[in-house]
Amino acid sequence: MADLCCINYYIMDLKNSTILITGGTSGIGLELVKQLGDKGARIIVTGRKIEALNETKKRFPKVHTFQSDVSDPDEIRDLYHNVTRQFPELNILINNAGEMRLLDMQDTSHSLDDLTREININLAGTIQMAHQFLPHLMKKPSAAIVNVSSAIAFMAYSTAPVYSASKAGAHAFTMALRLQLKGTTVKVLELIPPGVNTNLQNDWVLQPNPSQMMDVDKLVAVAVKGLENDTPEIKPAMVKVLKFLSRVIPNALMNFGHKEFEKFKQLNNNK
């Protein structure tokens, strides 16, 4: 009986949760819609493109969609008011929306405004969403903020310098927030994917090595299990190995990844 009580205490009740997923119209977010929906959760999804939101609604009719850009604070404020008015029971926020570009810092075609786009979406968007929704989540008996970072948070990938910075920042922010919210009803979890086959890589001139990529349904199955068990850092086996190597041989690991930069530079120049 004592064991049962403890198991109930630790397992997150996804079935009775209302979950807001940013960037839920593609890739990891869309698969979260599917697998968390299968658990019985009520799902709310955001994204920028209306066609993708409509397509998601068509595929998953029970899902509620809101057009909203996480890099725009005014849109975050509007989203907060609309979602909490319609879904006062909202108790889980998944900050998943993100972009990743391969980028040569010597390429002068990038404007300064455009250069830091991933910082605005992946990092500032995550921080602003967490800040905006926190007072609401604090009122719930059981709540969570889940930030989607990346294995790149542990080792800068030279071919994607701004993305690397955004994800290292998201990882640091998540750890700090977890400490601040210790002792409250809001858990702070981090999903740390390796390379996963999604639309994230569609525009890359240098395509990733398929043998190093994880299937999205497998990644999300690990994520859902991690959510159910309140795992602070949800990491598939490949990421556990990478995190360990990033501590014992950080330079070797980064130099291995850096081999791709020359290939990218050449392809980028010939574009």
Helical segments of the chain, H only:
2-10, 27-38, 50-59, 73-86, 112-115, 117-118, 125-138, 161-180, 216-228, 237-248, 250-269
96-115 exposure pattern, b = at least 16 Cβ within 10 A, e = fewer? bbbbbbbbbeeeeeeeeeee
Active-site annotation holds for 10 = no
Binding mask 77-106 for ligand NAP (x = CB under 6 A): -------------------xxxxx------
Closer of 3 and 51 to ligand NAP (Cβ) = 51
Q: CA-CA distance, 5 to 143, in Å (whole number)?
A: 19
Question: Among 20, 42, 44, 46, which residue interacts with ligand NAP (rule: CB under 6 A)?
Answer: 46
Find how far residue 117's CA is from the centre of its chain: 16
Tokens for 268, please give them: 């980028």
Closer of 96 and 268 to ligand NAP (Cβ) = 96
- C-alpha closest to that of 24 among 247, 198, 258: 198
Q: Does 55 bind ligand NAP (CB under 6 A)?
A: no
Q: Does 161 bind ligand NAP (CB under 6 A)?
A: no
Q: Least Å distance between CB 51 and ligand NAP?
A: 8
Tokens 């199955």 belong to residue? 221
Site for ligand NAP in 210-269 (CB under 6 A): none
Site for ligand NAP in 114-133 (CB under 6 A): 121-122
Question: Among 161, 195, 226, 236, which residue interacts with ligand NAP (rule: CB under 6 A)?
Answer: 195
Q: Does 23 bind ligand NAP (CB under 6 A)?
A: yes
Closer of 91 and 236 to ligand NAP (Cβ) = 236
Q: Least Å distance between CB 238 and ligand NAP?
A: 11
Tokens 């005014």 belong to residue? 74
Q: Least Å distance between CB 239 and ligand NAP?
A: 9
Q: Answer whether 215's CB lies under 8 Å from 196's CB.
A: yes
Closer of 119 and 267 to ligand NAP (Cβ) = 119
- Positions annotated as catalytic residues are 163
